[in-house]
Chains A and B, each alone.
Chain A
């Protein structure tokens, strides 16, 4: 069982702690939803785990290795990353973009196995018909599926996503989150996903971590961390937390 273990992370920017003694773990088979208001430190935590930030304090271990001392390539074989939206760049095909997920496994050019894994990842995200389209001819939802396929092709035990559904319509949101939770349910991949929609977080996460002002405010199995009290404390919003047809719903009512 491979576990990502980020312990007591503190990151400062301009003398202010943007992450203040935050600990989070993700094991294979888990889908951890990371929620919290804007500026709570979700993105900072995700990027700290990926090694972008200088840690004022804390350690990140994964598969028994100290991630802060590991080579970028070794980390890339353990943790894959999906950004909120792919940046505008020079357009290439969907296949080529997904193939880039193989970068930590290959030399200067892809081997046959890299092509085969790429093909498999494209099939998983139902992108076969788009494989040789240019990325700039795709819709936002399709592009995000390509990002997921690339992360899948990376064949890592852990997947970290920074608000991957924020720019998507509800159909693509459901598709992406259902896909991620099924992936975790195979028991071979652990998912840490920063997410804005509290209902979606409660519905798809095996565990939810609620952050506020650089700290963990509440944590619990499923959506248990999301109660009217914690939502009010984090967002300053009165909310109703309920279930409709067995689906968890967090309904914001009024700002306090």
Chain B
């Protein structure tokens, strides 16, 4: 750098009428805007690709159908029957009640877990954190185990009894972690440690429940902890989609503040007018609800909440205005790919998505880390 003293022009040289963004393509502001356009284009392309992939995997399976059939079923239901689906009843049943809810749920679950991961990593300023780090998944697993063990016969909430119990326990864990950190005024690092401690506690409690379970109950508990999209029905899809439809736009509106918090830290964020405690509380609550709603219906699907954000960040950079929507897409794509492989690779055996996702995700993750370039920041 040069030792010369930079000229400091009077601050009045900056006044709204005098400042025009230079039009030259090489001005810094223009370059910044260009990088924004690039990122929006990447997000749009990725979304279109994801939708195309979703349609093309929906028609694949043991009962093969054509793309035309699928489009007819979608058109028929989108128009409330005004357009007749006119295909055989079995194909329509398979597409409408097995494939479509499953594929849509895979994408929504992946998106929700990935967005929750982005939020948790942002507010703890720690890239190793995922929604599970604060004990949400093991608490949900314990709730599910309790429901499976003791809930038979008192299923007042019908098919929602296990998800509801899992959700309640996930919220209990998150509330415990959050209120402890509030009470002792702990930083994010202490909060992570508390969450990990709770995670072990709930795992031990689940193990204790399994210890006294019958063979049949044990099988169900274990299967639940794999995380699976088998038997997903539309109501579950709608609930998770509704949660995501609230969480994503609400946090998108806070995206710039998340940028400030992740880059500048608490002190500087505060000095820039960001209400750090409020932002952190909001992000935690929404991340926990998003993750817990998905886990409660599908069981424990790890890794997406950790890798989805990283893949997105490596491809599009750390600006949360683009990272949040793009992480939703990468998470959705990852879970869709994992479930499709799990569904088709050993058909008719369906491998639970929670298992496949690690087999798909880890090589991808390692590839990205090893081939990472440092240029993709703006």
Q: Which residue on B lies nearest to A136, using beta carbons?
A: B374
* CB-contacts of B245-284 with A (<8 A): 253, 255-257, 259-260, 262-265, 267-268, 270-275
Q: Which residue on B lies nearest to A98, using beta carbons?
A: B28
Task: Judge if A241 is at the interface, Cβ distance under 8 Å.
Answer: no
Chain A: minimal CB distance from B268 (Å): 6
Complex Cα gap A67–B6 (Å) = 32
Among B12-20, B87-95, B131-139, B336-344, the one that faces the other chain is B12-20
Task: Judge if B60 is at the interface, Cβ distance under 8 Å.
Answer: no
* CB-contacts of B1-45 with A (<8 A): 1-3, 5-6, 8-12, 14, 16, 19-22, 27-29, 31-33, 35
Inter-subunit contact A81/B267 (CB<8 Å): yes
Residues of A within 8 A of B10 (CB): 186, 188
Task: Judge if B317 is at the interface, Cβ distance under 8 Å.
Answer: yes
Task: Judge if B377 is at the interface, Cβ distance under 8 Å.
Answer: yes
Inter-subunit contact A116/B20 (CB<8 Å): yes
Interface size range of chain A in the complex: 35 or more
Q: Are A103 and B8 CB-contacts (below 8 A) given A72-B275, A112-B21, A132-B31?
A: no
Residues of A within 8 A of B260 (CB): 100, 103
Inter-subunit contact A89/B31 (CB<8 Å): no
Question: What secondary structure prevails in chain B residues at the interface with A?
Answer: loop
Inter-subunit contact A103/B317 (CB<8 Å): no
Residues of A within 8 A of B263 (CB): 89-90, 92, 96-97, 100, 135
Residues of A within 8 A of B19 (CB): 113, 116-117, 120
Q: Are A100 and B272 CB-contacts (below 8 A) given A90-B125, A92-B263?
A: yes
The answer, among A74, A108, A126, for a CB contact under 8 Å with B256, is A108
Inter-subunit contact B377/A91 (CB<8 Å): yes
Chain B: minimal CB distance from A150 (Å): 8
B interface with A by C-beta (< 8 Å)? 1-3, 5-6, 8-12, 14, 16, 19-22, 27-29, 31-33, 35, 125, 127, 253, 255-257, 259-260, 262-265, 267-268, 270-275, 313, 317-319, 321, 374, 377-378
A interface with B by C-beta (< 8 Å)? 47, 50-52, 71-77, 79-81, 83, 86-87, 89-93, 95-97, 99-101, 103-104, 106, 108-109, 112-113, 115-120, 122, 124-126, 128, 131-135, 137, 141-142, 145, 154-155, 171-172, 174-175, 178-179, 182-183, 185-186, 188-189
**17 pairs, A vs B, C-beta closer than 8 Å:** A50-B271, A72-B273, A75-B271, A76-B272, A81-B268, A83-B268, A86-B264, A86-B268, A89-B263, A92-B378, A96-B259, A112-B29, A122-B28, A124-B6, A126-B6, A132-B378, A171-B1
